[in-house]
Amino acid sequence: MMLFSYSHSSFPPFKTLALNRKLIPIPRRLLTVMLSSASKQPLVTVPDLTADETALVSKQAFQRYTASDLNRRNGTGVAIVWFRNDLRLLDNEALLRAWASSAAVLPVYCVDPRNFGTTHYFGFPKTGAIRVQFLIECLTDLKNNLMKKGLNLLIQHGKPEEILPTVVKATGAHTVYAHKETCSEEVFVERLVHKGLQQVVLPIGSSNQKPLNPKLQLIWGSTLYHIDDLPFDANNLPDVYTQFRKSVESRCSIRVCCKLPLSLGPGPSNGLDEIGGWGTIPSLEQLGVHERTASQCDNGMHFVGGESAALGRLHDYFWKKDLLKVYKETRNGMLGPDYSTKFSPWLASGSLSPRYIYEEVKRYEKERLANDSTYWVLFELIWRDYFRFLSIKCGNSIFHIGGPRKIMSKWSQDQSLFESWRDGRTGYPLIDANMKELSTTGFMSNRGRQIVCSFLVRDMGIDWRMGAEWFETCLLDYDPCSNYGNWTYGAGVGNDPREDRYFSIPKQAKTYDPDGEYVAYWLPELRSIPKERRHFPGNSYIKQIVPLKFGSPSLKPNPVSAEKNRQRNQRGR
């Protein structure tokens, strides 16, 4: 399960966080995720392919998913594709439907200022610098791939509900196609776009015809299992993941990926001059983010944005390195690029279709090997589906302090404690290393996410929404459904039968980083310390900010606490 997307002005020197009518300063370096690293170990690029290798892999994938018999189209007029969190061509039903229903297609991306504002409760940057850079790379790649297929990408800065009606009016488009979202902010924008389109009257061919309004056609395309194929209504979704998984696996089929025609062109022949031309891909500065220097991101992993990179990563992990067969055994690692698939950033941006992953898994099983590891990749994709459908059933309760179960607990919003967690200054190397990796790379392992979540809510007693919103800022793979779904689980307010799950730092460290290699990578001051002491280095490291809830190796163990910890570890991990 993977734990864990509004002004164009530059960030001020300090952002402030309102908690209990107090203001918490957030340094500029954290807003732009510019942590200078003491480590001299090299940066690893994901995917681990040259530009030429990535281009070749992408070309081959497009060839496999192009069908020559799709080149006849019966549509007329202009159709618009409104790209959102679906920044790909392969298996993009909205794009294919637009092509089939028209004689010309206009792809549009709206740089919505609300996506670069602040989070709902605590005023963190809504999109951190690393994800902004990733988005820019995704748009660049999308534009390039569209041009190879005979189209281009219109990029407009502003709110979709204002931009799309203007573009429709200028081009005479009859329909706007887009992928359907599920969370309230995105659904609200859909409603505003629909309302705006109703104000546009399309030109009519004769006086006998009734005036027509352009349509907004929303397509489901973000999950492995299609919502229309579920054996239950989304509002009746099982409350437990295992029940959901067993039901869809036994009663549903996964739809095949959509094929592409040889060409998606042409684009519209007129109207673009009225709206200022094609526009340009935004820069970091235009989105209020200061460009990071090379010395400030010289370790960890650098994820390359875009569909081509996504296809490259899948090829590298499945076929070149042949790692799919050991995924289940290695997936709980924390250090390096290859202990897990690392598909999540591209899934979140829609640069990679979950159904494409499924078909590649099945191809791997047919050509090489089928085992628990090949299945487990699909198991994780079903978790992603579950959180997406759960966001429909639970609505905004996944963002509320009491969660879907409306559990009222007394949470602290202590600013000093939260800053220690956020900045990686808790005195617990396993927590600090994970938080520094997050700030530096925009990524954290699944295991790490569960550990730092448990520490924040169980050991520190901090309001879980603060952690969720900080993850919203930093994560490359942020999407509201998975992020808040997992944080409600971790905080014990979600649909989890084990509401008191606790991740013991001593146990997690011993199991998943026994030699302290991970913590020493992110905390260079620990490299000179003997491996067996790296996780609890005593006076050789900063003071622990809080005691552990269930015992601490730095203190003389209490027999009662030790027994509670043993019992809790048996129930937890």
Does the annotation place 340 within a ligand binding site?
Answer: yes
Structure tokens at 554: 């730095």
Is 381 annotated for ligand binding?
yes
Q: Annotation-wise, does 344 bind a ligand?
A: yes
Distances (CA, A) of 244 to 81, 183, 386, 400, 567: 32, 20, 7, 23, 29
Classify burial at 166, counting beta carbons within 10 Å of its beta carbon; exposed 0-12, middle 13-18, buried 19 or more.
middle
Cα–Cα dist 469/483, whole Å? 9
Q: Whose CA is closest to 1, among 521, 376, 393, 258?
A: 376
Is residue 171 within 8 Å of 214, Cβ to Cβ?
A: no
Rounded to whole angstroms, the Cα distance separating 315 from 308 reads 11
List the alpha helices (DSSP H) in 326-456: 327-330, 344-349, 354-367, 372-394, 415-423, 429-441, 446-454
Structure tokens at 163: 């931009």
Using DSSP, state whether 516 is helix, strand or coil. Answer: coil
Is 477 marked as a binding-site residue?
yes
Cα gap 46→315, rounded to integer Å: 12
Residue pair 571/498 in contact (Cβ under 8 Å)? The answer is yes
Judge whether 549 is annotated as a binding position: no
Among 347, 272, 262, residue whose Cα is nearest residue 311: 347
Distance separating alpha carbons of residues 82 and 98, to the nearest angstrom: 10
**Is 121 known as a binding-site position?**
no
384 known ligand binder: yes
**512 in a known ligand binding site:** no
Contacts of 425 (CB under 8 A, 6+ apart): 419, 432, 542, 545
Contact yes or no for 528/349 (Cβ under 8 A):
no
Q: Which amino acid is at 81?
A: V
Ligand-binding site membership of 341 (annotated): yes
Q: Is 318 annotated as a binding residue?
A: no
- The single-letter DSSP state of residue 118 is B
Query: Rounded distance, CA 434 to CA 558, Å?
Result: 28
Could you give phi then psi for residue 236, rounded to 5 degrees? -110, 25
Annotated ligand binding at 382? The verdict is: yes
- Is 387 a known ligand-binding residue? yes
Residue type (1 letter), 558: N
- Residue 372 annotated as binding site: no
What b/e string do you get for 216-239 counting C-beta neighbours within 10 Å, with b at 16 or more? Answer: bbbbebbbbbbbeebeeeeeebbe
Other CB atoms within 10 Å distance of the CB of residue 8: 13
Helix (H) and strand (E) counts in the chain = 20, 9
Is 479 within any annotated ligand binding site?
yes
Q: Which residues are annotated as a binding site for FAD?
A: 327, 340-344, 380-387, 477-479
Q: Which residues are annotated as a binding site?
A: 327, 340-344, 380-387, 477-479
